[in-house]
């Protein structure tokens, strides 16, 4: 045989072997404690867009259960959850999720275990064939150059259950990644994970990993900081203007304390944004309302307060700045309080383990704070009104005065408590200079 003919035959033979060889892509999460997820797409499935695909899930000892899901979120597609059934066998539970709660067993997912599955030296291995896993819940293809997947795991002792609807503990870690499944196309084997020849690629992108323990702590921190700021600090520090109406209240008490509340709200907001990113819900209704409430108290309120204070130092009168500062402050505080209640509903929908007493206690505290706030304002207004004996003499004094009477200057540096915009001209006093 001539050399060129020999080379052509060798190349053809190599191509035949390669086309029959199973191409596999894998992902090993860096925080997955040695867990790996591998995928193979047969040549026929790739050409037709439908048919079986093969998955291999492996986990070292110390993993109670672990899972692989299709799509960028757990609600996008099929989920494959694996845990030990006995000392030597594993259970494959095919599930589907409708929200961020424990997914339920779905027998319509046509997936089953293949040869090589089981527990070997403590390592759980699940070789899976799925015959209806080429499309996601929204009809989009699960194959392609940027196929999205999610994963989750819980550490602990072996579960030892053959029940496919076994109740599962919430995962310790979860994440997502994308794979180029065009690199996983190859072969038409009935079990690509036991053939002797294969190509292995690690070709993942857009990896995201979340510690659920840290996420839980961030949720608590976000809820505590924002609730304290909006429910307790903002209203109480505003009431100081009514309880202690002194010219030094605003610059020395009200403003510094409200600045502290603003910083606390801003810190809680930052933690909340981090939680939203972890949950991939940064555009949800609860975060969006939080953007408005925190943006108002961080940006708008300080500017209006400073403008009113400067105006008062020059003129000794109230202004539109002060009125806007007062009523917008109440609006933003109320919006933050309401959003806190929405946040409890939002968190409960994603984590049913939240105690029922938490939102109840939040509602009681908010209601009590509302009653205190309204009572103090009504009390101050009643103190500002003239007494009946003084009210009887008012027509007499108005009749005798040749010039209009100037309103009494309240002992407040921004005059937010005055009912009238007419005040005494006290610019000559040293504390107003």
Encoded tokens for 417: 């408590």
- Domain co-membership, 86 together with 137: yes
Backbone phi, then psi, for 72, in 5-degree steps?
-85, -15
**Per residue in 30-47, is it b (16+ CB within 10 Å) or e — as a string?**
eebbebbbbbbbbbebbe
Tens of pLDDT, residues 153-178: 999 999 999 999 999 888 889 999 99
Residue 114 located in a structural domain: yes
Residue 75 located in a structural domain: yes
Is it the case that residue 280 has pLDDT exceeding 60?
yes
Angle at 170 between CA 165 and CA 176, to 5 degrees: 100
- Written as one string, the DSSP assignment of 358-399 is HHHHHHHHHHHHHHHHHHHHHHHHHHHSPPHHHHHHHHHHHH
Strand partners, 123: 120
- Domain co-membership, 128 together with 240: no
Residue 198 located in a structural domain: yes
Residue 394 located in a structural domain: no
Encoded tokens for 333: 């505080």
Three-state secondary-structure class, residue 327: helix
- Domain co-membership, 97 together with 141: yes
Structure letter (DSSP) for residue 133 = -
- Residues 137 and 159: their CA atoms lie apart, in Å, by 29
The domain that contains 231 carries what CATH number? 1.20.120.1770
Encoded tokens for 125: 């291995």
How much is the pTM? 0.76
**For 50-54, what is the mean pLDDT?**
93
Categorize the per-residue pLDDT at 352 as very low, low, confident or very high, splitting at 50, 70 and 90.
Answer: low
**Cβ(78)–Cβ(130) below 8 Å:** yes
Residue 87 located in a structural domain: yes
**For 328-355, what is the mean pLDDT?**
87
Tens of pLDDT, residues 211-255: 988 998 999 999 999 999 999 999 999 999 999 888 888 889 999
Q: Could you list the residue range(s) of the whole structural domain that residue 178 is in?
A: 23-206
- Domain co-membership, 195 together with 225: no
Residue 65 located in a structural domain: yes
- Domain co-membership, 178 together with 222: no
Residue 14 located in a structural domain: no
Domain count across the chain: 2
Nearest to 311 by CA among 416, 241, 405, 384: 416
The domain that contains 200 carries what CATH number? 2.60.40.1210
Tokens 């053959």, residue located:
162
Write down which residue in 165, 185, 206 finishes a domain.
206
Element (H or E) spanning 27, and its range?
A: strand 22-27
Tens of pLDDT, residues 121-138: 999 999 999 999 999 888
**Cβ(242)–Cβ(419) below 8 Å:** no
| Percent of the chain as helix, strand, coil, to the nearest 5 | 45, 20, 35
Neighbours of 334 (CB within 10 A): 16
- Domain co-membership, 84 together with 176: yes
- Written as one string, the DSSP assignment of 307-335 is HHHHHHHHHSS--HHHHHHHHHHHHHHHH
Encoded tokens for 23: 């191409």
Nearest to 367 by CA among 341, 331, 329, 347: 341
Categorize the per-residue pLDDT at 190 as very low, low, confident or very high, splitting at 50, 70 and 90.
Answer: confident
Is it the case that residue 9 has pLDDT exceeding 60?
no
What is the sign of the dihedral through the CA atoms of 335, 336, 340 and 345? positive
Count Cβ atoms within 10 A of the Cβ of residue 253 and give its class: 0-12 exposed, 13-18 middle, 19 or more buried: middle
- Domain co-membership, 153 together with 231: no
Encoded tokens for 172: 């310790």
- Domain co-membership, 268 together with 168: no
- Residues 317 and 407: their CA atoms lie apart, in Å, by 10
């Amino acid at each position: 045989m001539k050399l060129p003919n020999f080379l052509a035959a060798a190349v053809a033979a190599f191509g035949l072997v390669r086309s029959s060889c199973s191409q596999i892509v894998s992902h090993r999460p860096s925080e997955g404690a040695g867990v790996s997820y591998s995928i193979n797409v047969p040549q026929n499935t790739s050409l037709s867009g439908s048919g079986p695909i093969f998955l291999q899930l492996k986990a070292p000892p110390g993993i109670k259960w672990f899972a692989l899901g299709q799509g960028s979120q757990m609600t996008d597609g099929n989920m494959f959850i694996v845990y030990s059934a006995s000392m030597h066998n594993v259970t494959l539970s095919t599930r589907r999720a409708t929200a961020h709660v424990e997914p339920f067993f779905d027998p319509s997912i046509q997936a089953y275990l293949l040869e090589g599955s089981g527990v070997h030296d403590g390592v759980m291995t699940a070789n899976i064939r799925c015959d209806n896993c080429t499309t996601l819940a929204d009809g989009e293809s699960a194959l392609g150059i940027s196929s999205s997947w999610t994963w989750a795991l819980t550490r602990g002792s072996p579960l030892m259950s053959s029940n496919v609807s076994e109740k599962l503990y919430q995962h310790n870690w979860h994440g997502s990644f994308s794979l180029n499944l065009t690199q996983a196309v190859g072969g038409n084997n009935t079990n690509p994970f036991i053939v002797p020849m294969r190509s292995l690629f690690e070709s993942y992108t857009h990896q995201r990993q979340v510690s659920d323990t840290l996420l839980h702590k961030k949720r608590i921190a976000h809820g505590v900081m924002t609730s304290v700021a909006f429910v307790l600090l903002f209203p109480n520090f505003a009431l100081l203007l009514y309880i202690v109406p002194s010219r030094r209240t605003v610059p020395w008490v009200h403003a510094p304390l409200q600045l502290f509340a603003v910083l606390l709200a801003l810190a809680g907001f930052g933690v909340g944004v981090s939680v939203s990113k972890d949950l991939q819900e940064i555009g949800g209704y609860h975060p969006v309302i939080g953007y408005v409430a925190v943006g108002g108290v961080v940006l708008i309120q300080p500017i209006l307060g400073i403008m009113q204070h400067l105006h008062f130092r020059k003129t000794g009168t109230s202004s539109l700045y002060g009125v806007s500062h007062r009523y917008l402050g109440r609006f933003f505080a109320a919006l933050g309080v309401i959003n806190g209640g929405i946040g409890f509903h939002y968190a409960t929908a994603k984590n049913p383990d939240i105690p029922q007493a938490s939102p109840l206690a939040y509602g009681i505290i908010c209601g009590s704070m509302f009653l205190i706030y309204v009572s103090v304002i009504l009390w101050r207004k009643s103190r500002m009104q003239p007494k009946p004996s003084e009210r009887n003499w008012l027509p007499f004094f108005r009749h005798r005065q040749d010039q209009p009477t100037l309103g009494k200057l309240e002992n407040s540096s921004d005059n937010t408590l005055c009912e009238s915009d007419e005040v005494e001209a006290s610019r000559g006093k040293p504390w107003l200079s």
